[in-house]
Chains A and B, each alone.
Chain A
């Protein structure tokens, strides 16, 4: 065995030195790097969530509710010996001088956090000191982002609700905050004892009321078991196992998506491996046939092949894993902050994933040939009779296709998504084949009709060369266009979609939302509108209600399979009332009420909501409002133009039905860009109001989307490199044939210039078709997403399309030309002898 290992090792090194393995190894390294980069990145975030669960919670257990938690929860905690502290989180406004800013306020009791700690400092760029306490009374801590936005320093005095507070520190690190995706507004932390005096929390205010708990695992468990069954609607309990489910869900989606992105690279890399394995397999077959001539047994030869395969897979995996590790540092830099604040170091698991993937891919490529070797006699191999009895194309590629599919399914963890991905890839391949065939046929026909001259004849030779090598040229086009398509699509999503959506809004579309308006403040708000000449701004009532039953049957979230339906069934509804239907609503079925219907228990629903929850016209819906039940009959279904940016409601009743319940009010209006002065006056008058600046919010969303798309683009860069590897592998696979073609042309009188033109023409066609397909496919996908997912207008980006076409049409033939150039100066006879 040692001798065989040594011989296999030496021969592998010889093959490497001779260049027979370079493209194969390059493709394999690339695939492993793509898989492990994503794997390292997502595994680090996963570890952050699992290992740092208590830090993310700030406790061992957190009881959350959308209303004030009853005292008995805290009393039970004290009785069982658990440490406890209350906290409150809600959006609100903070004012500093003439500036105001939407913030996420967190008011915490003494003892916060129960697990982990906070880091505060005097400035935004210092290491800071670790503390395990709440801000003192009368003081607040602000996040660096807030300090920059309002130009705050330690000592600045800010207005929060009806109180003034001194900024006593910059909050540098808060583990329970999560990443950028989960905190749109910057953080302001205050002492819970100061909250009442701000008068920010009023009826209808949207806030998260929490009770944080910490103790030994046994006590925590005991408390969990006692409390869980008692929880009512709007209350939930999180422990370390289900800490921050929103982050975990986002991570799952990211893992799935990034993993599938990496799979595109893997598929392309496998295509490159299959193409570049041909010279390697041919030499191996010769080698093994000779070994059998010289007396090696079949078993020994198989062992030799297995060892050689293992060596190539192992060393490629090592390099790929190293590159993947380096690449994930870039990913972490780009996107980790979307999920969590700090990442733990990477573990060894992704290395195992990379190693297994490398072995699987290598064996998938080699297996058909191992089979072939066993079933063909030695003499046939030596006589090249394998050429007459080749494995069918299907059999040769079957193990690779099965391996690719298996990896896709493993990565997607979802049958439908994996199938959809395979479907998209196959569709793209079909599109390339159709476009390539059409392009080549048309070009060849046109050239036939064109006048005879040396240059056009040379171009014609190139196009005919493409036609002759149609299969392999198509593979090259598929490889390149796949990577290019995704990059173009991402560029479109990143910029164009959002820009197009914003451009589609009317100039005077509402760009400010005001929430938490109290009944006593309505007149003042109307006066504000009148004073500022703000037209078409109305104030709408909102009553929080819980959906209890439909037609007498209790509604439970678990009854619904659809995730959105479950979410709708468990959340609180905001019911409103109005006599007139809003102008941006369209009646789809049923009838709107008139004056005589005032006070009648009717309800009008948004049609998609009704469809998701399985509600029809005439259904009797029971709601609970502040403990009182009310039954309403569905009398109409409406279509709502949500992107009009005006206030709209899923559920509306006639006037006279809900007025006796406590309500707060909401409005939206338009203010010219950066005219904030009037708003600040409004805030001074009513400090409890929360004003959401849509433009600023869109800016933040844009920032997050840019980070997300940069991350995906980063991963798809692997695809582009893999696509280039396919291109190069196809060049290598057809190298001798192309050199022979070029040499024979020269033997029969073609000049070197003509040969070069033919070559460049062939590859320009490949580049053009690849780019054309990529541009078409990317725009089709972007159109679909605009029309069916985002419901925003789509505009074709001509300059991006042109850029992609020009780059591809230039780079690909240039790369091919570099490979041919040196052969043009060698005398034809020498070339013919060497082939």
Chain B
């Protein structure tokens, strides 16, 4: 059965200026991801994985080419337009957790819900924290939590908004193996429960193998790994 494409990249190029010349990070990249898919983008450090992720998420704009979300042009929208699409459809888990140190765990999870003026922000946030096993730590600040706990808060935050697409950029990059395993199990479970499209960037083959589809990014070119 053919799934609906939820996110597409067409002939994507991305270059950065370096003194008197340009460095090409992505070269004519094409990609289609269907709704509900779990996709891993693998590549060595500096291969452009995070750049590709940021373009797919509309956090940056390509040098040329375009990104489509639900068959509609996404990268050609202005910053506010892209933000609106993100607010309605996307969520994130970062390698460095990106929790705000001045906010408690609960306040960190509530943040994206408050942005979209969700009425039940607090209730939904408490539920999300409960789902990641941190209902006893809701009033703690990030510096009072371990790395694994912080990433669980980040996962709770990501899923609290019930996104259609979840971007995870090296989610276990700052964690030890054991904790990383727990986090990944949690991430995949919640993803499966929510039926979210998962786009995961990693250099870890073992982690990538847990996804339905694996793409290798090398010299700016994307290849499907069978």
- Taking beta carbons and an 8 Å cutoff, which residues of A are in contact with B? 3, 6-7, 10-11, 14-15, 17-18, 20, 283, 286-287, 290-300, 377-379, 382-383, 834
Q: Are B88 and A295 touching (Cβ within 8 A)?
A: yes
Show 24 A/B contacts (Cβ-Cβ < 8 Å), sorted by A.
A3-B114, A14-B104, A15-B102, A18-B141, A283-B100, A286-B100, A290-B98, A290-B111, A291-B115, A294-B86, A294-B87, A294-B161, A295-B86, A295-B115, A295-B116, A296-B87, A297-B83, A298-B80, A378-B60, A379-B50, A379-B54, A379-B59, A382-B94, A382-B98
Q: Which of A283, A298, A379 contacts B83 (CB 8 A)?
A: A298
Q: Are B59 and A297 touching (Cβ within 8 A)?
A: no
User: A14–B103 Cα gap in the complex (Å)?
Assistant: 6
B-side contacts of A11, CB under 8 Å: 102-103
User: A176–B86 Cα gap in the complex (Å)?
Assistant: 74
Given the known interface contacts A18-B101, A379-B54, the answer about A293 and B80 at a Cβ–Cβ threshold of 8 Å is: no
B-side contacts of A299, CB under 8 Å: 80
- Cβ of B189 under 8 Å from chain A: no
- Cβ of B84 under 8 Å from chain A: yes
A277 to chain B minimum Cβ distance, whole angstroms, is: 14
Q: Are B80 and A297 touching (Cβ within 8 A)?
A: yes
User: A6–B118 Cα gap in the complex (Å)?
Assistant: 13
Q: Are B115 and A7 touching (Cβ within 8 A)?
A: yes
Interface of chain B residues 13 through 68 with chain A (CB within 8 A): 50, 54, 57, 59-60
User: A182–B80 Cα gap in the complex (Å)?
Assistant: 67
B88 to chain A minimum Cβ distance, whole angstroms, is: 7
A479 to chain B minimum Cβ distance, whole angstroms, is: 26
Given contacts A294-B86, A295-B90, 19 further A-B contacts (CB under 8 A): A7-B115, A14-B103, A14-B107, A18-B141, A283-B102, A286-B98, A287-B100, A290-B98, A293-B86, A294-B112, A295-B85, A295-B86, A295-B87, A295-B115, A296-B83, A377-B59, A378-B59, A379-B60, A382-B98
Q: Are A297 and B79 touching (Cβ within 8 A)?
A: yes
- Cβ of B72 under 8 Å from chain A: no
B45 to chain A minimum Cβ distance, whole angstroms, is: 14
A308 to chain B minimum Cβ distance, whole angstroms, is: 12
User: A276–B86 Cα gap in the complex (Å)?
Assistant: 33
User: A297–B80 Cα gap in the complex (Å)?
Assistant: 5
Given the known interface contacts A18-B141, A283-B101, A290-B100, the answer about A295 and B112 at a Cβ–Cβ threshold of 8 Å is: yes
B-side contacts of A292, CB under 8 Å: 59, 79, 83
Q: Which residue of B lies closest to A383 (CB)?
A: B50
A15 to chain B minimum Cβ distance, whole angstroms, is: 5
Interface of chain B residues 126 through 141 with chain A (CB within 8 A): 141
B-side contacts of A297, CB under 8 Å: 79-80, 83-84
B-side contacts of A378, CB under 8 Å: 59-60
- Cβ of B92 under 8 Å from chain A: yes
A-side contacts of B117, CB under 8 Å: 3
The 3 closest A-B pairs by CB, nearest first: A295-B87, A294-B112, A18-B102
With a 10 A CB-CB cut-off, give which of B94, B102, B104 has the most chain A CB atoms: B102
User: A630–B103 Cα gap in the complex (Å)?
Assistant: 88
- Cβ of B143 under 8 Å from chain A: yes
B104 to chain A minimum Cβ distance, whole angstroms, is: 8
- Cβ of B75 under 8 Å from chain A: no
User: A287–B108 Cα gap in the complex (Å)?
Assistant: 10
User: A287–B104 Cα gap in the complex (Å)?
Assistant: 13
User: A7–B113 Cα gap in the complex (Å)?
Assistant: 11
- Cβ of B91 under 8 Å from chain A: yes
A-side contacts of B141, CB under 8 Å: 18
Interface of chain B residues 115 through 174 with chain A (CB within 8 A): 115-117, 141, 143, 161
Q: Which residue of A lies closest to B169 (CB)?
A: A382
